Chains A and B, each alone.
Chain A
Amino acid sequence: MPVLTKAMVPSAVATGGSTRVKARVAAKFKKGDKVRTLNLNPLGHTRLPRYVRDKVGVIETDHGVFVFPDTSAHGKGEKPQRVYTVRFKAREVFGPSAGAKDSIYADLWDDYLERA
């Protein structure tokens, strides 16, 4: 079993164990693309928050390739894919009581998104 050595501690504490991977996976979307989040309600783990399901937003940043948490949490492999920051208008998410100029940003995996 691997052991945490003294030399490993600084990076382990600083990165918190990033799940970025080196695999080359093509991006389905690019900055400026309009996307809709899927309405997923899995019994297992997901990092798609409830309040941004079935909402329309715009790709703001492509962060590169990361492990897919929804499979990784259940021993179903890393399924590496792109993670994007997606910008949603606050009113798209929380309706007319939200600020007209406000936006909500969420970091979301390719498998949560479809073209809008």
Chain B
Amino acid sequence: MNGVHDLGGMQGLGPVNPETDEPVFHAPWERLAFAVMISVFAGGNYNVDEFRHAIERMSPADYLSTSYYEHWLHAMETLLIEKGAIKESELAAKWAKLGKGGA
């Protein structure tokens, strides 16, 4: 699809500045997201092409203002709901609980 992810040749995004000694993860939750992603993938919930497409379907504004692992989390949530593995209401309830300082 002609999504915002297809950035090649686009201008105005500023220089590419790789971090020196870039850590594999920038926050503890990213480490967790990586582990969950591999497990969910191995569980046969979806294939890698469905995963990429789920990221491409993000709203362009959200896509550009969120990080790599936030894209992963978005795709996992989208696909697990679409495939019926979890319910949207379950996810919303969990997010609400986390928002109140729960776990």
**What is the interface of chain A, defined by CB distance below 8 A to chain B?**
1-4, 8-9, 12-13, 16-17, 19, 41-46, 49-52, 67, 69, 72-74, 93-94
Contact = CB atoms under 8 A, between A and B. Distances in A.
Interface string B41-63: 11110011110110010000000
Contacts, number: 62
Contacts of B56: 45
Query: Which 3 residue pairs spanning A and B have beta carbons closest together?
Result: A4-B42, A73-B49, A45-B53
Q: Determine chain A's interface SS by DSSP, over half rule.
A: loop
A67 B38 contact: no
Nearest to B43: A1
A73 B46 CA distance: 9
B40 to A, nearest CB: 9
Given A43-B1, A50-B8, A3 B43 contact: yes
- Among B43, B44, B49, B56, chain A packs the most CB atoms within 10 A around the CB of B49
B49 A45 contact: yes
Contacts of A43: 1
Given A69-B49, A72-B49, A73-B53, A44 B1 contact: yes
B6 A17 contact: no
- Among B8, B41, B56, chain A packs the most CB atoms within 10 A around the CB of B8
Contacts of B47: 19, 67, 72-73
B44 A42 contact: no
